[in-house]
Amino acid sequence: MNISLIGTGLMGAPMAEKLIETKHTVTVYNRTVEKTSDLGSKGARVAPSVNETIAASEAILLMLSDYDAIVEAIFYANRDLNVSEKTIIQMSTIAPDESIDLNERIVNRGGAYLEAPVLGSIPQVREGRLIVMVGSTEKLFLRWKKFLSIFGPDPIHVGDIGKAAAMKLALNQLIASLTASFSLSLGLVLKHGIDVQQFMGIVRESALYAPTYDKKLKRYLAHDYRNPNFPTKHLKKDVDLIIGEAQKCNLQADALQGVQSIIQQALKKGYNDTDYSSLFEAIAPDVSL
């Protein structure tokens, strides 16, 4: 099958590689051409424009940073955009109403649209173990379920357009909150000279445990946030979206606003492009190990 992918950044590039590995004919586009060079050498066709990228395939995957980047790439720069008989599969983290808006724009131009945000990062892409959440009609979901299983073994139909986007925000809220909460607890333990492994032993045997604690522990202890699968600046974008959506739903988001402030402090310290576990440096800035 011919597949196009627009956006070859941190997640987009390994997703394109996965498509090549599974014997699809892949066309890629990125505004920053340098980000497509490795994919070109691995067998992808590098298109010079969004229009040519869309024209090359039946399905077009979007892995751009946010809603504004999608609108800029797909609509503002392409007034003659033709998506007739094409399916646009939007896989980034955006707000529900933004996804609904994209659906209306695509359908009005004769195309089909489904949202398919994913939970997981680069290792899960390469292993085909992402959790893929789909918002679409039942018919469209069934049409593309087998294809989406390239990225995750059991794509989940959450409901209509907007519902998968909301599900993704709900899950990313846990990423932010668990990271901040564990960082504070670890900081308390270290400040009082308590053995970290003793602390972790208790946590692992309790109902409080989340696997992400062990996944990130080495980074905290080494103060090493290089080679991120999900950078701090992207967590900031997602937390802003979550708070905005919570306010629309008349939900109390004060706790997450505290996390938002912590993320901003981490960014001011220069941790924009490092792993999001760098929140530890804002929460426990003077902890020595």
Question: Tens digit of pLDDT for each residue in 178-228?
Answer: 999 999 999 999 999 999 999 999 999 999 999 999 999 999 999 999 999
Residue 177's pLDDT band, with cuts at 50, 70 and 90, is very high
Classify domain 165-283 by CATH number.
1.10.1040.10
**pLDDT for position 31:** 86
Query: Is 112 within 8 Å of 58 (Cβ atoms)?
Result: no
Q: What is the DSSP letter of 45?
A: E
Domain ranges (residues) in the chain: 2-161, 165-283
Question: Per DSSP, which regions of 138-186 are E strands?
Answer: 156-159
CA distance 154 to 148: 8
**pLDDT for position 33:** 83
**pLDDT for position 77:** 65
CA nearest neighbour of 154 among 119, 183, 186: 119
**Could you name the CATH architecture of 2-161?**
3-Layer(aba) Sandwich (3.40)
CA distance 77 to 168: 28
**pLDDT for position 134:** 98
Is residue 237 over pLDDT 90? yes
Question: Tens digit of pLDDT for each residue in 62-120?
Answer: 999 999 999 998 887 666 788 899 999 999 999 999 999 999 999 999 999 999 999 99
Q: Are both 2-161 and 165-283 of the same fold?
A: no
For the full predicted model, state whether its pTM sits above 0.85.
yes
Is residue 249 over pLDDT 90? yes
CA distance 173 to 164: 14
Query: Is 237 within 8 Å of 286 (Cβ atoms)?
Result: no
Question: Quick count: other Cβ atoms within 10 Å of Cβ 286?
Answer: 7
Query: Is 30 within 8 Å of 36 (Cβ atoms)?
Result: yes
CA distance 193 to 259: 25
Is residue 157 over pLDDT 70? yes
